[in-house]
Chain A
Amino acid sequence: MKKYSLVLFFCLIFLSAHLSAQNVTVNNNLTFGTVFPGIPKTISKTTAGLAAEFYVSGTAGNEVTIDFALPTYMNLGASNMQLIFRETDCAIDTSATPDQSSPEFNNLDPWHTLTYRIGSNGLYIWLGGIIVPGLTQTEGSYSSNIVITVTYTGN
């Protein structure tokens, strides 16, 4: 009976260890604020409070892949406004003391899969971008979704 209890115990340990796998949350949206027709606006990935911030929690040392589904337009009803993400608009920090102003991994391409290991303090992802309002852009509030998918590689 003791033998079976021991096996049961290890099963539960095994189970609980893997229940702490990665989880991604949105800490901050990419916020352009007020813009003028005809004047492009850039938000840097290192600008706290305006750049998008995502946080990946999970077991330190676990490797994850990060994929974005990025919009090319923001929308207001039938009106569109061009939204550009350059190949250097992403940054990641997996250190114990994440620093958005000087991220551990800078100038990353959000259009390609990013592969990193979760750090002791999780993994922070920042994303900037550019909007290009037209000269006769319809006034109002525009928005679009940024979908991030984080996948545990098993490594």
Chain B
Amino acid sequence: MNSEHKMPSIWKILVLLLTMSFLMVASVSAQDVAVGQATATVQTPLTVTAIAALAFGTIFQGVPVSVAETDASAGIFTMTGQAGSGISLFLQLPEYMSTASGDDRMIISFSTTDCAIDTTANADPTTFGSGWTAQNPFNLPSGVIIGTASTQTSLFLGGQVLPSVDQTAGAYSADIILTVAYNGT
């Protein structure tokens, strides 16, 4: 009599366990999701500024004038960015200076030693700090970095103008373009 009463209870337990097992199978084997991440740290963008023009001042017809890269009249560019990061530099140099009206031109030339690169905070060509002196502006050195102490590097540029004997009087100018890019080093 007692065993007959127990039977239905055992069946209930079995049905319950079977249901649970199927439910768990369904839930456990369905799917799993994980979330990973992609991470990166971007360094400081580069900034290039033309601080001072390469200034030959007043010149005379037929008299060449040179400005050294260590002269106060040298052209000055400053570059700021991530301290210690490698940069590549390229100068686009003019062959002539022109009057504003374009009716006359004057030869400008650059020697293979007319450039200096200073990786200290100094932006004064007359008080060179540390870096590269007497460099070829047409082939700037590799291995240049943004200064570690100041996050700045400066480029100083000298040159020479060769006015002709019948050079038209007036102001002459030309663009000097410095392109700087990180090279990943």
Contacts and interface: CB of A to CB of B under 8 A. Distances in A.
Chains A and B bind each other: yes
Interface of A: 1, 4, 7-8, 11-12, 14-15, 18-19, 21-26, 28-39, 41, 52, 54, 56, 71, 74, 76, 81, 83, 127, 129, 131, 133, 135-152, 154
Contacts of B41: 32-35, 140-142
A135 B38 contact: no
B46 interface: yes
B18 A11 contact: yes
Interface string B28-47: 11111111111111111110
Contacts of B85: 36
Contact of B40 (A15, A24, A81, A151): A81
B45 A19 contact: no
Interface string B5-28: 000001001100110110011001
A interface: dominant SS: strand
Nearest to A146: B36
Given A7-B14, A35-B40, A37-B43, A18 B28 contact: yes
Given A15-B20, A23-B32, A37 B37 contact: no
B171 interface: no
A135 B45 CA distance: 7
